[in-house]
A and B are shown apart, each in its own frame.
Chain A
């Protein structure tokens, strides 16, 4: 197959696909549509929990973005669940984006303010470092 024929084959394929997609859109049943998420969907996971008396705090790691991603740490005072769009059923009590040029050394929870104090050391983190972070109680 020469270059011209390859191009024509590629073009035909695109047009056929487009035509079929128009048919698909026209035939879609809008009543049974699943919830449409913003693309791409964040990668989210509960990475640690800390029990303090009767309360349990949950540390969540979230990766968001397309080619240039951000990593976010969230704190919840109840166990969150996430839907197919990675949205939580409750609001975090604290959240912040991580500095990806430095390595997190400690994450301290201040019980009075329910804020996190994130400590860094120099150097970029390894691939799995930020998903294995632990929550620590800040000394009063």
Chain B
């Protein structure tokens, strides 16, 4: 195929999917969810399919296209808050309204969503054993992460890799922690994360540990994965490709950003 033909093919490739952009996606989503309106769901899905094609072909996005995508994410804030996933809702909204926090200035989120999870509780317990071991040998306890090779070689950290993926969460072979499948509030906030301990010995002999989790909010591009985020609306689902969510950062609609949860503990080894 000649270069002119290729150019023409690329230019017209999404025309068969061309769809009007819903001007109030929140309203259409509410109707699809509350009234089980198939027409509203199709209206939204057609728009997303059209924009997905444009993103894959790297076509120019209009102002209406961009506003629609932004409003879809703002609608997630409503839906997430309404369903009790406050942190996930906060993060989705920040994706389209935030400044793209760098790692040095992360967005602060409620640490409770991590602190109450079984995998984090078990990892804190194992990390405290390691800190106590280091302190007893007069070694530095200043800072280490749960993927630290020395920590993971200890017998008390081995059980973290054997925990139940569904009900407890587990440590993966790389040392990253995975949220339990059933812990929906945490899993929607952060699927995988590293727990860091920053510790200091106080005059009283107690240890003060700052527990910290830093994570990046971003999505996998089309080139790496075929993931979809399926939004339940009534008896149907709105299929939003993660590649399109990632592409939003390329057209100035969204910004990937770092976020942090942090809490403190005074404890005696």
Binding site for B on A (CB under 8 A): 13, 17, 20-21, 24-25, 28, 32, 34-43, 63-70, 72, 84-86, 95-97, 99-102, 120, 127-128, 131
Contacts and interface: CB of A to CB of B under 8 A. Distances in A.
Nearest to B235: A34
Given A20-B27, A24-B31, A84-B236, A39 B178 contact: no
B264 interface: no
B254 to A, nearest CB: 11
Contacts of B42: none
A24 B34 contact: yes
CB-CB nearest 4 A-B residue pairs: A68-B191, A37-B232, A34-B235, A41-B230
Interface string B35-59: 1100000000000000000000000
Interface size class of B (residues with CB under 8 A): 35 or more
Given A42-B230, A70-B178, A128-B226, A13 B36 contact: no
Contacts of B95: 67
Interface in B88-121: 88, 91-92, 95
A86 B215 CA distance: 28
Contacts of B173: 99, 101-102, 120
Given A43-B228, A99-B173, A101-B172, A68 B34 contact: no
Given A40-B229, A127-B225, A70 B26 contact: no
Contact of B231 (A34, A40, A99, A127): A40
Contacts of A40: 188, 229-232
Given A21-B30, A69-B227, A97 B178 contact: yes
Contacts of B85: 39
B231 A24 contact: no
Contacts of A21: 26-27, 30
A38 B186 CA distance: 13
A120 B172 CA distance: 13
Given A25-B34, A42-B230, A99-B174, A67 B166 contact: no
